[in-house]
Structure 1
Amino acid sequence: MTTNDRASRTVLPIPDQRYAGAFTYDATDADTTFPAVPRVTAPDGAANVLVILLDDVGFGASRAFGGPVNMPTAERLAAGGLKYTRFHTTALCSPTRAAMLSGRNHHTVGMGSITETATNAPGYNSVRPNTCAPVAEVLRLNGFSTAQFGKCHEVPAWETSGVGPFDHWPSPGNGFEYFYGFTAGETNQYYPAIRQGTSPVEQAKLPEEGYHFMEDMTDQAINWIKQQKALAPDRPFFTYFAPGATHMPHHVPKEWADKYKGQFDDGWEALRERTIARQKELGVVPQDADLTAPSEGIPNWDDQPEDLKKVLRRQMENYAGFLEFADFHTGRLIDSLDELGILEDTLVYYIIGDNGASAEGGEVGSFNGVAGTNGGADLMTTEYMLEHLGEWGGVESYPHYSIAWAHGLNAPYQWTKQVASHWGGTRNGTIVHWPNGFESKGELRHQFTHVIDLAPTIFEAAKVPAPVLVHGVTQEPLHGYSMTYSFDEGDAPETHTTQYFEMFTNRGIYHNGWSAVTKHHTPWDTQMGQHGGSFADDRWELYDGSTDWTQAHDLAKEQPEKLEELKKIFMIQAARFNVYPLDDRTAERLVPGLAHRPTLVKGKELVLFEGMSGLTENVMLDLKAKSFSITAQVQVAEAGGRGVLLSQGGRTGGWALFLDADGHLVYTYSFVGVIEYTARSAEPVVAGEHQLRIEFAYDGGGFGKGGLASLYIDGEPVGEGRVERTHITLYSFDETTDVGRDTGSPVVSAYGARDNGFKGRIEWIKVVQGDDDHSHLVPSHITLEALMAQQ
């Protein structure tokens, strides 16, 4: 009997069993026998598991669920599996992922919001407690191979640097043996900030050579699975495939966007009407379902100027191409499983969106999605966007679409991403495919389900129990319910009968077919938290799901007793799962000290050394809205020096201190990737040891102001230049600070994305903040808007 035969698997790691048999004196003695070396292997018949989670896709986007976007892979899997029409997320990226990967509600695992707005409240600290071991760790300890590819936005902001700790990274902390992806809310698809494990990785080729992260991560996933099955064919795998698509930036090759030319010329209202008609044909909504009224604040298509309509149409064509492009590469992954002969024995979840479509692009969308939150909205004029229409989705862009397209893609439901009170924020089309696990094919399932239901379903497919003890820590019971009961019984009564929702104090409760909801804030209301009012004054709505599939008819006035019943259930669930205290603050949550969350870098000085790279803005000194100095101690080679000394940011904006091709000391500031301001030394830096310095004197008087950049070589002034406009919030969510080079997309046009490293030696670089900090004058809603737009 092996160790595994004796193991209950409820205690992990499975305890090693000491050999209790007889020992001999001489290994050559005929009586010398020992059992085989014990190995932890998965239970016999355990299925492979593949979870595919797309980003920011509305329920009404995919053609599989009645939308306008062709997704052949989704339809292929649906034809051989099941479509779940009432599958729900949390309305936001990080919380959905944390809930799904743990099998517990998002507040219970500390992810009530995104990591950048964490507080010290248990439901909002962004730290998964060790009482909630993630699914990957449970499967790894049960003999599965585990890997994650793509997006991870669950690492606490202060733990995202190369010094860790790595307890909450995919690998090693979250149970994935291999990780290839990015640890941010978004990434530049042409210049992604890739991590392999915990180390930065340089992309294999440039975008002009055909690089796109969606293709890259798919190649990596295919290769990993092939290696697993080549070397350990009997060992099942758990693969989590989480593209950055279709989150902003909507980066896609032009030919994919062109496939949708003319398909959205009649606007978003017409799109919603067509979508619900197709949804009724497919049966993903009932024949008597009503299209909800436009959400408050959504503009009318006919009121848009004709020139702006040209931009708006291209935004949607580009987005549709991006979604189909993501589905195409997902199809390559599915094809690889088929070619290996393992698709039929792989439980595949294809979750089309971690929340509803994103309403973070503003009323008219943007060619550069970070411009608006940095005071650069005036640059994103209709004329500017028209001028760059041919570049939309390309390497020079960082685009997002209008809030109205987001609303249209959530048809037939109300509201969008961030709004957990209504189905537009939380209902996502989901497909389950597992030929060897169930016989039903091409059918619909209408039972209420939620992302926390994946964990118990996966454990059933893996034939392992939910553990009670992991690494010596007693575990919180799973909060979800296995979906296997519905696989071959379409009419089976749903088992997940009660579920709360909360995001940014938008709240809801589902119970036995009814839903009670209240919306406290609107995603495109940039004054969030400024005038939210008392929670007690929030108006609750009531919907009967048995007669009103889409939450179109509010029954609060007709059935106040029922509403009060559901509100009480919400309060009980909220208290049980760490939702309280409700928190709609802004300024306090944006400042680590006020929010009582840790920071990595403390004080006003930071010394950096050659080779340090991949430092996100969360782990760097913030130089915005203040004076500062940067001093580099360097050795310039006899052949002359050129290359980057220190850079921060990328295509969407930032700055770099470097020696140009002629050896001149240069400081360039890129304002939202549109305007460059430069200070340059009059003479080149000669060979030898030098101190090179830039001092920036901030004008003050508010945020986003300009300043004077002065350059020094060995203490002597050598040049200066004005910077008229500066960033308010973030240069980028994923672009980094790098010593001795500029990784990712280049900050400035003076050097390229490759071969920009400093041709000399850097001893150290010292960054010092000035005392004239004006960041307190930044309206808190602007910073919050920036964070929400990039998660």
Structure 2
Amino acid sequence: MKHFVITIFAVTFFCAATFAQKATKPNIILIMVDDMGYSDIGSYGSEIKTPNLDKLAAEGTRFREFYNNSICAPTRASLLTGQYPHRAGMGYFDVNLGLPAYQGYLNKESLTLAEVLRQNGYSTLMSGKSHLGKDSLAWPNQRGFDRFYGFIPGASDFFDIGEYGKAAPVVLVKNNKKEKLKPGEYLTDKITDNALEFLTEQSKTTKPFFLYLAFNAPHWPLQALPEDIAKYKGVYDIGWDSLRQQRIARQKELGILPAGQRVATHDPEVPRWDYLTFDQKQYWKAKMEVYAAMLDRVDQSIGRLLSTLKQLKKDDNTLIIFISDNGAQGGYAGNARKPSRNSGPVGTPGSYDYQEQNWAYLSNTPFRQYKNNMHEGGISSPFIAWFPKEIKGGAIVKGTGHLIDIAPTFYDLAGAKYVSAQKITPHPLVGKSLLPVLRGQTQEVVRGEPLFWERAGNRAVRKGKWKIVSTYPSFTWELYDLDTDRGETTDVAAKFPLVVDELSKDYFQWAERTDVVPYDKIKPTQPMTIPGQK
């Protein structure tokens, strides 16, 4: 009888321990914003009010170096699969160019975070922008998400048709059923509302959760709530030149910009603020007031998210990662330009304005170039990781992470097996877990191979301190030493030809095994256009 009691106790203890182990798997929240520059939040040097993100940064870890794919859809392909975009089927955009690497939607061999984590016992939730293919087979609910609210293409209005009456109704999808934004609703709030609804519903289960919160702010069109715009009246009266210098000073003070690092020189296409007329200044500062207001509302939404986590008693076991999909959008189109589609003032329903190069020059401080370009301004994102249980607060590290590292990190943290529910052989993961960096064991990712980029003929390779980059239609490589020159001010290709040869060889070997095709061979007859971009 005594042995029987001991056996029962042992079995009971084992079962309880097993349940506790399953119940304490970490929750994961991945937050992405759209077209936001490297310096646009307070903890990376901005004057924009982002107290909730700043709190996450103060209590977590920031990377000085974290890389995206320079533009929306290819970034999202890598983020959700851990693959380079060509291997995932989205080497160009959500446009089918007739080859598997450029089919314009995720292939089945590239397993999504949601598919893998669901197979490993997670609830999988998403709210926001998808942009992973227009075919319904590529919609989030068909690629592993239990719950989804948001929109499928690359952009959306933030209001319904509004008082001006010329903006198209905002069509959204909730769990495969279409619905429309109602009068008076603001899309950033609705994305947040649904994310919190999903979390509250999920809290009734014993499963851990994965939430992908994909805000479309501050992507065009510039539309914001009046009360948020009012906070920034007068803030941008001094213009981009002075504000860029202020951001650089704050980045140095914060430790985001190390001593001795060279910053990008003045963009010759961006006019000096003092040379503008009074009317031009009124037009331009209004745009940035709205842009700032859009990010302010995102930060308010993150505050709501943190409050909900605390109410649900999930805050002490949740990893939160925050990034942007690419740098701020360039494309200079003239001082007095007003988009022909506008049917209302900037910021209102019917406005289709965007930030443009003048203010993107500020947003991408201290770097060079913009979205869709492989210089640092196009591919650099802020990166914040918050998980007080495991991550030391207030740390700023070099990092040198990439989107392809997110999937290995989540699977490592969750103890998840990289398996498919279907009878397919998944592409091997090519990134590295960020956990050694997040846990303070090392200052940057030890990957043993370069990082690579190609999109619409723009190319780059990062290997150690060296980076080669070329901008289509040029095929000439530039070379930069990023340890001292992330501003990419001094091309040293002529001084170090052997380094250029080595990285160029690495690039072409990667391109061959990743099915990259020279852009001239697959270039669409009517290329995808970005408003105002050349």
Counterpart AA for 2:489: A
Match of 1:108 in 2: 87
* Partner Cα separation in structure 2 for residue 786 and residue 100 of structure 1: 22
Match of 2:368 in 1: 414
Match of 2:177 in 1: 199
Q: Is 1:185 matched up with 2:170?
A: no
Q: Is 1:46 matched up with 2:25?
A: yes
CA deviation after TM superposition for structure 1 residue 787, in Å:
7.5
Q: Is 1:557 matched up with 2:301?
A: no
CA deviation after TM superposition for structure 1 residue 470, in Å:
4.0
Alpha-carbon spacing, 1:354–1:345, altered in 2? closer, same or farther (3 Å): same
Counterpart AA for 2:529: E
* Partner Cα separation in structure 1 for residue 446 and residue 315 of structure 2: 28
Alpha-carbon spacing, 1:112–1:43, altered in 2? closer, same or farther (3 Å): same
Which of the residues 247, 257, 261 maps onto 1:275? 247
Question: Secondary structure in 2 aligned to 1:285?
Answer: coil
Match of 2:398 in 1: 446
Match of 2:427 in 1: 476
CA deviation after TM superposition for structure 1 residue 557, in Å:
1.7
Q: How does 1:504-519 map to 2 (within 5 A)?
A: 504-519=456-471
Alpha-carbon spacing, 1:399–1:571, altered in 2? closer, same or farther (3 Å): same
Aligned partners of 2:63 and 2:383 also within 8 Å: yes
* Partner Cα separation in structure 1 for residue 20 and residue 98 of structure 2: 40
Alpha-carbon spacing, 1:504–1:145, altered in 2? closer, same or farther (3 Å): same
Q: Is 1:215 matched up with 2:189?
A: yes
Match of 1:703 in 2: none
Question: Secondary structure in 2 aligned to 1:316?
Answer: helix
Which of the residues 416, 427, 432 maps onto 2:385? 432
* Partner Cα separation in structure 1 for residue 315 and residue 187 of structure 2: 24
Q: Is 1:500 matched up with 2:452?
A: yes
Counterpart AA for 1:397: S
Identity %: 30
Kindly provide the CA deviation profile for residues 322-351 of structure 1, in whole angstroms up to 9, marking residues without a partner as x.
Answer: 111111112211211122111121111111
* Partner Cα separation in structure 1 for residue 154 and residue 236 of structure 2: 28
CA deviation after TM superposition for structure 1 residue 538, in Å:
2.4
Match of 1:130 in 2: 108
Kindly provide the CA deviation profile for residues 22-56 of structure 1, in whole angstroms up to 9, marking residues without a partner as x.
Answer: xxxxxxxxxxxxxx9xxx99945321111000000
Match of 1:545 in 2: 482
Aligned partners of 1:499 and 1:509 also within 8 Å: yes
Task: Answer 1 or 2: which has greater helix percent.
Answer: 2
Question: Secondary structure in 2 aligned to 1:215?
Answer: helix
Kindly provide the CA deviation profile for residues 152-193 of structure 1, in whole angstroms up to 9, marking residues without a partner as x.
Answer: 11114xx2xxxxxx321101x210011100011111111231
Question: Secondary structure in 2 aligned to 1:449?
Answer: strand
- Bigger CA drift: 399-408 or 58-67? 399-408
Which of the residues 485, 488, 493 maps onto 2:439? 488
Aligned partners of 2:331 and 2:531 also within 8 Å: no
Q: How does 1:120-159 map to 2 (within 5 A)?
A: 120-156=98-134, 159=135
Aligned partners of 2:73 and 2:131 also within 8 Å: yes
* Partner Cα separation in structure 2 for residue 127 and residue 184 of structure 1: 11
Kindly provide the CA deviation profile for residues 84-129 of structure 1, in whole angstroms up to 9, marking residues without a partner as x.
Answer: 110110000011111100011111101112213x301222111322
TM-score (norm 1): 0.61
The structure, 1 or 2, with the larger RCO (C-alpha pairs under 8 Å, 6+ apart) is 2
Match of 1:169 in 2: 139
Q: How does 1:550-589 map to 2 (within 5 A)?
A: 550-583=487-520, 589=524
Kindly provide the CA deviation profile for residues 7-35 of structure 1, in whole angstroms up to 9, marking residues without a partner as x.
Answer: xxxxxxxxxxxxxxxxxxxxxxxxxxxxx
CA deviation after TM superposition for structure 1 residue 254, in Å:
1.7
CA deviation after TM superposition for structure 1 residue 572, in Å:
1.4
* Partner Cα separation in structure 1 for residue 273 and residue 107 of structure 2: 47
Aligned partners of 1:95 and 1:111 also within 8 Å: yes
CA deviation after TM superposition for structure 1 residue 266, in Å:
2.4
Question: Secondary structure in 2 aligned to 1:86?
Answer: strand
Question: Secondary structure in 2 aligned to 1:56?
Answer: coil
Question: Secondary structure in 2 aligned to 1:546?
Answer: coil
Match of 1:66 in 2: 45
* Partner Cα separation in structure 1 for residue 337 and residue 129 of structure 2: 23
Match of 1:228 in 2: 202
Aligned partners of 2:32 and 2:322 also within 8 Å: yes
* Partner Cα separation in structure 2 for residue 396 and residue 493 of structure 1: 45
CA deviation after TM superposition for structure 1 residue 298, in Å:
2.8
Match of 2:274 in 1: 302
Counterpart AA for 1:357: A
Kindly provide the CA deviation profile for residues 509-532 of structure 1, in whole angstroms up to 9, marking residues without a partner as x.
Answer: 001121011112xxxxxxxxxxx3
Question: Secondary structure in 2 aligned to 1:332?
Answer: helix
Question: Secondary structure in 1 aligned to 2:407?
Answer: helix
Q: Is 1:785 matched up with 2:529?
A: yes
Q: Is 1:363 matched up with 2:334?
A: yes
Aligned partners of 1:43 and 1:463 also within 8 Å: no
Question: Secondary structure in 2 aligned to 1:474?
Answer: coil
Unaligned stretches of 5+ residues in structure 2: 1-14, 161-169
* Partner Cα separation in structure 2 for residue 362 and residue 148 of structure 1: 35
Q: Is 1:463 matched up with 2:463?
A: no
Match of 1:89 in 2: 68
Alpha-carbon spacing, 1:493–1:79, altered in 2? closer, same or farther (3 Å): closer
* Partner Cα separation in structure 1 for residue 400 and residue 355 of structure 2: 30
CA deviation after TM superposition for structure 1 residue 485, in Å:
0.5
Counterpart AA for 1:177: D
Alpha-carbon spacing, 1:246–1:182, altered in 2? closer, same or farther (3 Å): same
Kindly provide the CA deviation profile for residues 650-686 of structure 1, in whole angstroms up to 9, marking residues without a partner as x.
Answer: xxxxxxxxxxxxxxxxxxxxxxxxxxxxxxxxxxxxx
Task: Answer 1 or 2: which has greater strand percent.
Answer: 1
* Partner Cα separation in structure 1 for residue 139 and residue 363 of structure 2: 32
Counterpart AA for 2:333: G
* Partner Cα separation in structure 1 for residue 330 and residue 51 of structure 2: 26
Aligned partners of 1:286 and 1:549 also within 8 Å: no
CA deviation after TM superposition for structure 1 residue 296, in Å:
5.0
Counterpart AA for 1:131: E
Alpha-carbon spacing, 1:436–1:239, altered in 2? closer, same or farther (3 Å): same
Alpha-carbon spacing, 1:454–1:558, altered in 2? closer, same or farther (3 Å): same
Alpha-carbon spacing, 1:42–1:223, altered in 2? closer, same or farther (3 Å): farther
TM-score (norm 2): 0.90
Query: Runs (4+) of structure 1 moved beyond 6 Å?
Result: none
Unaligned stretches of 5+ residues in structure 1: 1-35, 160-165, 521-531, 591-779
* Partner Cα separation in structure 2 for residue 298 and residue 574 of structure 1: 34
* Partner Cα separation in structure 2 for residue 435 and residue 71 of structure 1: 20
* Partner Cα separation in structure 1 for residue 317 and residue 215 of structure 2: 23
Alpha-carbon spacing, 1:194–1:277, altered in 2? closer, same or farther (3 Å): same
Match of 1:253 in 2: 225
Match of 1:528 in 2: none
Q: How does 1:643-662 map to 2 (within 5 A)?
A: none
* Partner Cα separation in structure 2 for residue 480 and residue 500 of structure 1: 11
Q: Number of matched residues?
A: 507
Aligned partners of 1:194 and 1:200 also within 8 Å: yes
